[in-house]
Structures are given as structure tokens and as C-alpha cells.
Amino acid sequence: MYGILIAFKQFNPLHGIWGSKWIGLQNFKELFDAAFFWRAFKNTVMLNLYQILFAFPGPILFALLLNELRSVVFKRWMQTIAYFPHFLSWVVVGGFAVALLSPNTGVLATVTGWFSAERYSEFLLTDPQAFRAILIGSELWKNLGWGAIIYLAAITGVNPDYYDAAVIDGAGRFKQAIHVTLPAILPTIVVLLVLRIGNMMGSDFEQIYVLYSPNVYEVGDVLSTYVFRLGLFQGKYSYTTAVGLFQSVIGFALIVLANRLSRRAGGALW
């Protein structure tokens, strides 16, 4: 919190935080006038919305499917296989992406020949139209199993009597999952969704930094990479601190709003 003062100063490392000159809201004025900042802001919001729409439900669905498996051995193998990508560095995952998507030597190009045509001659990691889909897909693949752990834990806490009552009423496995399991873990889903919404101004810096390039800055440059470039490479410490403070304020407002909405929804549902 002490370092936030830099956002209101013209920070000079030689003078320190207290010794640097106060400039008030000048950094924020520069920030709101910067076109590249608003581009990064838009990309951050868009990528997080896509992740909530497409990546967030993935672990929920995977947990429901695992819960339906009757073979304990097969279930454990599936869990292990799904958990493993979470422990891989994004650098390794980036290497997988290059090996998979390269138009000349990639796995897809070699096995299927999809990229031999002129239409697919461009490297997809440098294609703005495909880059966001690659980010969402890699995020889902890497964290699908790990994200399902908390939902599996919530499912184990469901009272078995509810399933017995559903069977008596004639409900099959699918209806039990929809009408018993899913409502039982809904509070857990809401809590995680609130936390996810509160983090909408943030992005996985390592993932994007490994996968993106100047060719896809238009759709892939987010606030975290924007701050990294300007703060580390250009030495704009005060300006990037102002960006970070802006992220924190918006994120705090979002998590408060999401929490209030979840309370209203909870009152209506229960």
C-alpha cells in the first residue's frame, strides 16, 4: 500500500518514494488520454468475459462427469490425466502450442495437412482472429482438472438421501445431476464466480507473455503486459503504478457488485 504513493509522484529511484516530486493526478490524466491503455483495457475485459463464458463452466461440467463414473480406477486415472497440465509451466505449454500450430512442422499440419492450403498458411499464434481462441483453449486445457477439485469436494458433501429420493421419484442419472447435484453445489459456484468477476481486471501474465507477439497486440495486449512493457522497458514507474491502482479500484468495485448480485440471487433461489 505504501508503494501506491508512486502513482501520485514523478518517481525517481535515486530520490526514493518520499523524495520524489508530487504531481497529483497527472499520471492518471496521461493514462486516460493514452490510446494504447484503452486498447489494453478493452482486451483485458474481453478476454475475461470469454473466460467466464467458455472456460469457467468447464471444470463444473468435468466434475459432474467424473462424479458419474462408477469405476474407481478409471476415475482416478482420468483425474490424474486432467490434473497434470496444471503443473506445467506456461513456457512448456507455449512450446506445445508452437509444436501443435506451426504451419510447416506443426502436429496438425503434419497429420492432417490442414495448413497446407493457402488459407491456413499463416501461423495461428500470429493471427489476430485466432489468438483469443487459442488463449481460452489453452487456459481451459491447463486448468480444467485442477479447477474441478473444489467442485468434486462440494459434490462429496451432498446428502445421499437426496439421490435416493430422486430415484424413488423416477429420476435417472442425468436428472439427478441437474436437479440434485448442480443445485447442491450452486453456492460453491457462486462464490467462485464472484471471485472470478473480481479478478476481471487481471490476466494471466505468464500465459499471454509466452504466447503473444507484436502481431497480435491489437487483440492480445492486456493491462498486465502493458504495465510490464512500459514499467520495465521504459522506466515509467509512476505511470504504471497508476495503471495498477486503476485496476485495483475497478476490481474492488466489480467484486462488491458481484457479491451484492449473488446475495439477491441467493435470496430469490433459497
* pLDDT average per 10 residues of sequence, the chain (270 residues): 82 80 86 88 92 92 90 89 91 87 67 51 76 91 91 90 88 88 89 84 84 88 89 84 88 84 56
Burial 216-253 (b: 16+ CB within 10 A, else e): bbebbbbbbbbbebbbeeeebbbbbbbbbbbbeebbee
- Cα–Cα dist 194/260, whole Å: 9
Q: What's the Rg (C-alpha) of the chain?
A: 23
Per-residue pLDDT, 267: 41
Q: Establish if 160 belongs to a structural domain.
A: yes
Q: Establish if 46 belongs to a structural domain.
A: yes
List the alpha helices (DSSP H) in 68-204. 72-83, 90-101, 107-112, 128-156, 160-168, 173-176, 182-184, 186-198
Per-residue pLDDT, 56: 92
* Residue tagged 480444467 (cell numbers): 144
Per-residue pLDDT, 9: 82
Number of separate domains in the chain? 1
- Cα–Cα dist 229/207, whole Å: 15
Q: What cell numbers appear for 18 in the block?
A: 518520499
Q: What torsion do the CA atoms of 229, 138, 204, 56 make, to the nearest 10 degrees? A: 150
Per-residue pLDDT, 53: 92
Per-residue pLDDT, 109: 60
* Residue tagged 535515486 (cell numbers): 14
Q: What is the CATH number of the domain that holds 156?
A: 1.10.3720.10
List the helix and strand counts (H, then E) for the chain: 16, 2
From residue 261, how far is each of 60, 190, 197, 251 by CA, in Å? 21, 10, 12, 15
Taking Cα atoms as reference points, which of 12, 44, 20, 5 lies closest to residue 227?
44
* Residue tagged 504451419 (cell numbers): 103
Q: Establish if 177 belongs to a structural domain.
A: yes
Distance, first Cα to last Cα, the chain: 39
- Cα–Cα dist 241/9, whole Å: 10
- 3-state SS, residue 122: coil
Alpha-carbon 224 to chain mean position: 13
Q: Establish if 247 belongs to a structural domain.
A: no
Q: What cell numbers appear for 169 in the block?
A: 421419484
Mention every residue, 6+ apart, whose C-beta is less than 8 A from residue 149.
Answer: 83
CB of 7 closer than 8 Å to CB of 238: yes
Taking Cα atoms as reference points, which of 190, 195, 194, 202 lies closest to residue 249?
202
Q: Establish if 171 belongs to a structural domain.
A: yes
Q: Establish if 27 belongs to a structural domain.
A: no
Full residue range of the structural domain in which residue 54 is found = 34-86+142-204+217-235
Q: Establish if 65 belongs to a structural domain.
A: yes
Per-residue pLDDT, 201: 81
Q: Establish if 181 belongs to a structural domain.
A: yes
Per-residue pLDDT, 46: 92
Per-residue pLDDT, 122: 56
Per-residue pLDDT, 111: 62
